[in-house]
Amino acid sequence: MSIILIADDSKFMRCFLKNKLQQQRTLTFVEASDGQEAIDIYKLIKADVTFLDITMPKVNGLTALREIMEFDASATVIMCSAIGTESNIIEALKIGAKDFIVKPNLNCLVNILEKLDRNKN
């Protein structure tokens, strides 16, 4: 994995995620501050892994996930949201998300990436 798209309306959270992920490996990051920007960027670069928040302006994360999956059914998208309700988690997984991280519990980020690496090999 090399290109990571992080879509979150919080600049702090985007930086936090980047710093957390960079602790274990060298990665290239692309950022989006809203759901529409995430969709547009994904269509241009087809990121290896995309992290999507649910609550974002213009287009919410679940809608962005749906559009990304329609564009690329093999996209690797991980939802990363403080709104970890059972219904949101189930909907995201049904749409095609590979995993769902409930903020602020981000300690599992590296483990999730390692699991994705193993599944691709």
Q: What integer best gives the mean pLDDT of the chain?
A: 86
CATH classification of the domain holding 116: 3.40.50.2300
Say what the pLDDT of residue 107 is: 64
Provide DSSP, 50-74. EEE-SS-SSS-HHHHHHHHHHH-TT
Buried/exposed 57-86: b ≥16 CB within 10 Å, e otherwise: eebbbbbbbbbbeeebeebbbbbbbebbee
Tokens (6 digits) for 41:
């960027």
Question: Which of the residue ranges 14-18, 68-72, 100-104 would you say has the lowest mean pLDDT?
Answer: 100-104
**Angle, helix 35-45 to helix 61-71, in steps of 10 degrees:** 20
Q: What residues pair up with 29 in beta bridges, in sequence order? A: 4
Looking at per-residue confidence, does 107 or 23 come out higher?
A: 23
Q: What number is the average pLDDT over the span 23-28?
A: 74
Number of domains composing the chain: 1
- The H-assigned helical ranges of 10-120 are 11-22, 35-45, 61-71, 86-95, 109-120
In the predicted structure, residue 94 carries a pLDDT above the cut 60: yes
Domain containing 14 equals: 3-120
Which helix (H) or strand (E) element contains residue 102?
strand 99-102
pLDDT at residue number 119 = 64
